[in-house]
């Protein structure tokens, strides 16, 4: 079917929007035409509004409830950043518009946002150059490991493996594997960080690099990073910083200063975009100077006359990683967020995140069998194994919270803690909310001792009660019955 583009009147921003219309002289084949008008429900506007408002009230979200979901970081996503990213000057731009002439005036603005966001992220991480193209954390990791591979190939290094601690997010080994490397997994020590002696034993001339998350998924910061970086650089390996937990250290420490060569950040965790529901996201990658030539194309460059353009001339580049320039809307949110916060705001955010997590950890410590003692960073992991004596599991604890108006924390992850219960309170939560959370956990522990069956039945206040997860997995039915 032939489509023609028809110009419509300029929008609020003066942006010329194009609408797609079927050309008048094109006939839709008869077999695709209706014989009867479509049977549409006849309802008033008020009924439609009530229907969708009622549906939206069933949502259990960060806008309605406390949401202490560890690892995924349901943190503060300012509504102001949402509004900024939704300006028609940003949403109305098309990536195929000319960079300079014609639509250039608007394209220049978008390119400037990309350029300046890269500079701000460089500033925040201490790494020399950024690409904003990768569309998720995992995509950023893959980009980063491909850069590691390109670096070694270029230097004629024969490398065959990447070292990753066992507390890493599962995407780390997956990315290393996709880029063609074997993965050497190092167990955690009693403090919850990569065992240093086992790491030293695994490191050799064939080590392409090490992927570290700092603080890691247990909320623990590795205090031997400098030694690890030095040892890895000794064998011409590269240090990769998984920056998904950057909100715990931003404004205080910079991966570049610690000795890392590459990092990815999750804009949809640390910089103003909600995480969850599978995206969209953005996982920008920053690199040290020596890795600049391998960054993906295109690159945003600023020319001497002050204009911006996309540059594709990079013979050593790993090539295309994403169409056009990644998820522009997510970058626009992050740009607004970075400008709002500045360095002091970043420090305030990470301070509050760490303070809130430690407050909860201290309050809850007496209740749980804690494997890792000591202070945490932005999140902490407890084990619910202590409830097993009452026939209660971490799952029951999580379900009981729903009836008390709290979204459950992350459970059964990370895998190296049995019955894990992983809490990450958002930095913007006040003390009353944190105290309420503590009182709910205390109440549920009491219930586990006195009336465990009550907990097995939870949740009872939701439209759908406890699901039979085993049955759901075995007898999956993906089509709704009429």
Ligand X SMILES: *Cc1c(COP(=O)(O)O)cnc(C)c1O
Binding residues vs ligand X (CB under 6 A): 71, 136-138, 169, 171, 213, 217, 242, 244-245, 266, 281, 283
DSSP assignment, residue 418? T
φ/ψ of residue 387, rounded to 5? -90, -10
Nearer of residues 264 and 399 to ligand X, judged by Cβ: 264
Nearer of residues 281 and 459 to ligand X, judged by Cβ: 281
- With residue 286 as reference, give the H or E element that holds it: strand 285-287
Nearer of residues 71 and 327 to ligand X, judged by Cβ: 71
Nearer of residues 144 and 281 to ligand X, judged by Cβ: 281
The distance of closest approach from Cβ of residue 124 to ligand X in the complex, given in angstroms and rounded to an integer, is 18
Whether the Cβ atoms of residue 281 and residue 273 lie closer than 8 Å to each other: yes
Q: For the CA atoms of the chain, what is the radius of gyration?
A: 26
The distance of closest approach from Cβ of residue 275 to ligand X in the complex, given in angstroms and rounded to an integer, is 7
DSSP class per residue in 420-439: EEEE---TT--HHHHHHHHH
The distance of closest approach from Cβ of residue 460 to ligand X in the complex, given in angstroms and rounded to an integer, is 32
Tell me: cis bond preceding 62? Omega within 30 of 0 counts. no
Query: Closest by alpha carbon to 84, among 450, 318, 333?
Result: 333
Nearer of residues 137 and 256 to ligand X, judged by Cβ: 137
DSSP class per residue in 309-354: EEE---TT---BSSSTTS-HHHHHHHHHHHHHHHHHHHHHHHHHHH
The span from the CA of 296 to the CA of 445, in Å, is: 51
Nearer of residues 185 and 309 to ligand X, judged by Cβ: 185
The distance of closest approach from Cβ of residue 138 to ligand X in the complex, given in angstroms and rounded to an integer, is 3
> Which residue in the shown chain puts its C-beta closest to ligand X?
137
Residues 6+ away with beta carbon under 8 Å from 460: 403
The distance of closest approach from Cβ of residue 304 to ligand X in the complex, given in angstroms and rounded to an integer, is 37
Between helix 137-155 and helix 171-178 the angle, nearest 10°, is: 40
The distance of closest approach from Cβ of residue 213 to ligand X in the complex, given in angstroms and rounded to an integer, is 5
Nearer of residues 171 and 383 to ligand X, judged by Cβ: 171
The distance of closest approach from Cβ of residue 56 to ligand X in the complex, given in angstroms and rounded to an integer, is 25
The distance of closest approach from Cβ of residue 274 to ligand X in the complex, given in angstroms and rounded to an integer, is 12
Nearer of residues 120 and 422 to ligand X, judged by Cβ: 422
The span from the CA of 384 to the CA of 395, in Å, is: 9
- For residue 316 the two structure tokens come to 């050593």
């Amino acid at each position: 079917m032939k489509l023609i583009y028809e110009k419509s009147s300029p929008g609020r921003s003066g942006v010329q929007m194009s609408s797609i219309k079927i050309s008048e002289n094109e006939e839709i084949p008869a077999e695709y035409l209706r014989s009867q008008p479509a049977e549409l429900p006849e309802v008033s506007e008020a009924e439609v509004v009530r229907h969708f408002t009622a549906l939206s009230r069933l949502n259990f979200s960060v806008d309605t409830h406390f949401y202490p979901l560890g690892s995924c970081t349901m943190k503060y996503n300012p509504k102001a950043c949402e509004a900024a990213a939704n300006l028609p000057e940003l949403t109305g731009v098309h990536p195929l518009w000319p960079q300079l002439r014609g639509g250039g005036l608007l394209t220049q603005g978008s390119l400037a946002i990309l350029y300046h966001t890269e500079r701000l992220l460089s500033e925040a991480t201490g790494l020399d150059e950024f690409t904003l193209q990768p569309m998720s954390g995992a995509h950023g990791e893959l980009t980063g490991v491909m850069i590691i591979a390109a670096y070694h190939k270029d230097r004629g290094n024969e490398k065959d493996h990447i070292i990753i601690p066992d507390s890493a997010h599962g995407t780390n080994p997956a990315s290393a594997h996709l880029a063609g490397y074997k993965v050497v997994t190092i167990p955690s020590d009693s403090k919850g960080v990569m065992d240093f002696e086992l790491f030293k034993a695994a490191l050799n001339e064939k080590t392409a690099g090490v992927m570290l998350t700092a603080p890691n998924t247990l909320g623990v910061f590795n205090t031997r990073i400098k030694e690890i970086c030095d040892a890895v650089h000794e064998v011409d390996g590269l240090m990769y910083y998984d920056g998904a937990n950057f909100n715990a250290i931003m404004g205080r420490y910079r991966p570049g200063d610690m000795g890392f060569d590459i990092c990815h950040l999750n804009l949809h965790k640390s910089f103003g975009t909600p995480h969850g529901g599978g995206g969209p996201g953005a996982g920008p990658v920053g690199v040290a100077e020596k890795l600049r030539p391998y960054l993906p194309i295109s690159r945003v460059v600023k020319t001497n006359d002050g204009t911006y353009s996309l540059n594709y001339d990079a013979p050593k580049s790993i090539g295309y990683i994403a169409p056009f320039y990644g998820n522009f809307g997510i970058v626009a949110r992050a740009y607004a967020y970075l400008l709002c916060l500045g360095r002091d705001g970043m420090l305030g955010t990470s301070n509050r995140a760490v303070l809130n997590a430690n407050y909860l950890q201290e309050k809850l410590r007496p209740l749980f069998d804690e494997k890792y003692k000591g202070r945490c960073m932005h999140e902490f992991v407890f084990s619910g194994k202590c409830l097993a004596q009452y026939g209660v599991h971490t799952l029951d604890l999580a379900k009981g919270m729903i009836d008390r108006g709290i979204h459950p924390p992350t459970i059964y992850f990370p895998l190296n803690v049995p019955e894990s219960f992983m809490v990450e309170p958002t930095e913007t939560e006040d003390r009353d909310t944190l105290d309420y959370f503590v009182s709910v956990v205390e109440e549920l522990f009491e219930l586990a001792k006195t009336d465990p069956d009550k907990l097995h039945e939870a949740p009872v206040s939701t439209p759908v009660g406890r699901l039979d997860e085993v049955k759901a997995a075995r007898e999956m039915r993906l089509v709704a019955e009429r």
